[in-house]
Amino acid sequence: MKVFKERWEISNNWQLIIPFLGIAVLLYSSFKLSKVLLKNVHISFHLILSVVFYFLLLKFVLFLFKKLENRWKVNFKWEMISIFLVFAITGTSSIYISKPIFTLLGITKENLNPFVYWIIYSIIGFIFYQILLVLIGWLFGQFKFFWNFEKKMLVKLGFKRFIN
pLDDT by residue for the chain (164 residues), tens digit each?
788 888 888 888 888 899 999 999 999 999 989 988 888 888 888 889 999 999 999 999 999 988 998 888 888 888 899 999 999 999 888 888 888 888 888 888 888 888 988 898 888 888 889 999 999 999 999 999 999 998 888 888 887 776 76
> Is residue 3 located within the same domain as residue 27?
yes
Neighbours of 34 (CB within 10 A): 21
> Is residue 31 located within the same domain as residue 83?
no
> Is residue 82 located within the same domain as residue 154?
yes
Among the candidates 10, 40, 71, a domain finishes at: 71
Report the C-alpha gap between 32 and 86 in whole angstroms: 19
Q: How far is CA 62 from CA 26, 30, 55, 74, 155, in A?
A: 12, 15, 10, 16, 29
Among the candidates 48, 71, 94, a domain finishes at: 71
User: Maximum distance among all alpha carbons in the chain?
Assistant: 58
Report the C-alpha gap between 154 and 148 in whole angstroms: 10
Q: How many distinct structural domains can be found in the chain?
A: 2
> Is residue 80 located within the same domain as residue 153?
yes
Give the per-residue pLDDT at 164: 63
> Is residue 66 located within the same domain as residue 101?
no
> Is residue 111 located within the same domain as residue 138?
yes
> Is residue 106 located within the same domain as residue 146?
yes
> Is residue 33 located within the same domain as residue 93?
no
pTM of the model: 0.82
> Is residue 10 located within the same domain as residue 64?
yes
> Is residue 12 located within the same domain as residue 80?
no
> Is residue 45 located within the same domain as residue 109?
no
117: left (phi over 0), alpha (psi -120 to 50) or beta: alpha
> Is residue 5 located within the same domain as residue 40?
yes
Among the candidates 71, 98, 133, a domain finishes at: 71
The domain in which residue 111 lies consists of: 72-164
